[in-house]
């Protein structure tokens, strides 16, 4: 064991460790372990009852153990006596196949065997809202086109600065913060890195933003569409694949066809994602609410900034995939509810399938997808709701082969229950529209 957590605790003044895992619904679960007990936990893991989280287990299952990854350690910048650890789930001495971090690590191993190392950056949009979630926190933030609004950005400077300073101290190399397209919405960008590191940081970022917002008397939400008339919270990912040394970007190059600075490998990978995008939607857009962000009517600002179809283009934000620059592409489908590990596992699994099958995504489109779709033929639309998306995932041979039956079965089963719960709930809309039938 190269990193001794007990020793790290003594050196850095850590009193407690959060041994955490993310379940299939993306919920972050933890045990708070005093430093005096970390030795045993590092070796054997912290025990959890799997049924108590969103995992496909029953109360009769034996204990599940979260074995922390010492490489993931992050000391809480706002509470440095506590350190956070991501972990992998084990039961009966074997990894839990239907768990998100284990699933991503399997895909990374597959990529490694092929000589590939995926690097990603994520853009986690969020809203700062009031405590009960009924409105945005800043009542003065009212412009119809509030994107990049300096005055509204600076009114939230104390929160933004505390989060950005924390990322600087943690060595994440943050480089910009802005007010996004919805009132009360913000985005903060830090450097891209290996997919597992980015996924761990994505988990921690959500925890950190929520915690620091609470310190300032607010609440932060990553909900895909918290307000129906405003732009929703996306979680775009910038994707590239490198050689195993991490020095050569294998997506860089130009196959001569389209002049967008992407290699043939990048187009195959992109083609794999396009081929399975409708089946991936249940993973990328995992809540009932997610479908109010994609396929949405125009917002107050003039655009939703989210896709409704499976298309790609150059530097054009109306497509599901944008190629903003040489050597990478941006996948704009995922939202703030996407599971940080499962979304990366899905991207990599389908990208590798595209490479294996030599998929050709066709030519990029240079049209405004919000206005000019009547000129298009033969393109696929995204599913309209969570149930349609789950049915596509359930019947996807590709995703079953790539991610395994254990994971797909567990995910679809739990999410379908979630859909049923939503369907059986009588809404005010139904009463308003049906009482006088
Ligand atoms: Mg954005």
pLDDT tens profile 213-226: 999 999 999 999 99
3-state secondary structure of 88: strand
Taking residues 397-417, report their average pLDDT: 97
pLDDT band at residue 178 under the 50/70/90 scheme: very high
* Cα–ligand 1 centroid distance for 128 (angstroms): 15
- Domain parsing of the chain, residue ranges: 5-89, 106-434
For the domain made up of 5-89, the CATH class stated in words is: alpha beta
The arithmetic mean of pLDDT across residues 340-348, rounded, is: 98
Task: Answer yes or no: is pLDDT of 48 > 90.
Answer: yes
Ligand 1 centre and the CA of 404: distance in Å?
Answer: 32
Rounded CA-CA distance 429/14 in Å is 51
pLDDT at 1: 53
Q: What is the CA radius of gyration of the chain?
A: 22
CB 306 within 8 A of CB 293: yes
pLDDT at position 378 is 79
Label residue 155 by pLDDT band (50, 70, 90): very high
Model-level pTM? 0.97
* Alpha-helical segments (H) within 332-376: 340-356
Output the CA 336–ligand 1 centroid distance in Å. Answer: 11
Counting residues of the chain whose pLDDT is more than 90, the rounded percentage is 92
Ligand 1 centre to CA of 164 (Å) is 16
Angle 199-228-53 (CA atoms, 0-180°, nearest 5)? Answer: 40
Ligand 1 mean position, distance from CA 84 (Å): 27
User: So what's the pLDDT on residue 367?
Assistant: 87
Work out the mean pLDDT of the chain and round it to a whole number. Answer: 96
Beta bridge partners of 372: none
pLDDT bucket at 103, cuts 50 / 70 / 90: very high
The pLDDT-based confidence of 304 (bands split at 50, 70, 90) is confident
User: What pLDDT is stored for residue 377 in this prediction?
Assistant: 78
Across the beta sheet with 312-313, the strand order is 193-194, 117-124, 235-242, 328-331, 321-325, 312-313
**Which residue in 199, 197, 163 sits closest to 178, CA to CA?**
163
Q: How far is the CA of 8 from the centre of ligand 1 (A)?
A: 37
Phi, psi of 7 (to 5 degrees): -65, -40
CATH 3.30.590.10 for domain 106-434 = yes
From CA 369, how far away is CA 308, in angstroms rounded?
9
């Amino acid at each position: 064991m190269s990193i001794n957590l007990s020793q790290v605790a003594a050196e850095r003044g850590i009193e407690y460790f959060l041994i955490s895992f993310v379940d299939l619904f993306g919920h972050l679960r933890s045990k708070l372990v005093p430093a005096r007990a970390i030795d045993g936990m590092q070796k054997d893991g912290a025990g959890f009852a799997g049924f108590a989280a969103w995992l496909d287990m029953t109360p009769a299952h034996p204990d599940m153990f979260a074995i922390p990854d010492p490489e993931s350690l992050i000391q809480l910048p706002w509470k440095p006596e506590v350190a956070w650890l991501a972990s992998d789930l084990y039961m009966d001495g074997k990894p839990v196949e239907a768990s998100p971090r284990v699933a991503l690590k399997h895909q990374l191993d597959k990529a490694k065997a092929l000589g590939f190392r995926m690097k990603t950056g994520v853009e986690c949009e969020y809203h700062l809202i009031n405590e009960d979630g009924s409105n945005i926190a800043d009542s003065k933030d009212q412009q119809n086109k509030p994107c990049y609004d300096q005055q509204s950005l600076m009114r939230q400077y104390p929160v933004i600065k505390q989060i950005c300073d924390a990322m600087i101290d943690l060595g994440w190399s943050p480089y910009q913060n802005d007010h996004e397209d919805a009132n009360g919405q913000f985005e903060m960008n830090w450097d891209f890195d290996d997919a597992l590191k980015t996924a761990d940081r994505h988990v921690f970022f959500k925890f950190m933003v929520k915690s620091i917002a609470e310190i300032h008397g607010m609440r932060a939400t990553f909900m895909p569409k918290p307000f129906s008339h405003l732009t929703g919270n996306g979680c775009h990912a910038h994707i590239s694949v490198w050689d195993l040394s991490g020095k050569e970007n294998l997506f860089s190059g130009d196959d001569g066809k389209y002049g967008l600075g992407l290699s043939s490998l990048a187009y195959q990978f992109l083609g794999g994602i396009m081929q399975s995008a409708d089946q991936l939607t249940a993973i990328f857009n995992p809540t009932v609410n997610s479908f109010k962000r994609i396929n949405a009517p125009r917002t107050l600002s003039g655009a939703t900034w989210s896709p409704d179809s499976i298309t790609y283009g150059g530097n054009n934000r109306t497509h599901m995939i944008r190629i903003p620059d040489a050597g990478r592409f941006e996948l704009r489908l995922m939202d703030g509810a996407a599971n940080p590990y499962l979304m990366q596992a899905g991207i990599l699994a389908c990208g590798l399938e595209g490479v294996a099958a030599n998929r050709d995504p066709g030519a990029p489109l240079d049209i405004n997808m919000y206005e000019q779709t009547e000129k298009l033929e033969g393109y696929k639309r995204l599913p309209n709701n969570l149930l349609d998306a789950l049915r596509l995932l359930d019947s996807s041979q590709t995703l079953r082969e790539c991610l395994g039956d254990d994971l797909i079965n567990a995910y679809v089963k739990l999410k379908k229950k979630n859909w049923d719960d939503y369907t059986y709930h009588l809404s005010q809309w139904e009463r308003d529209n049906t009482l006088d039938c």
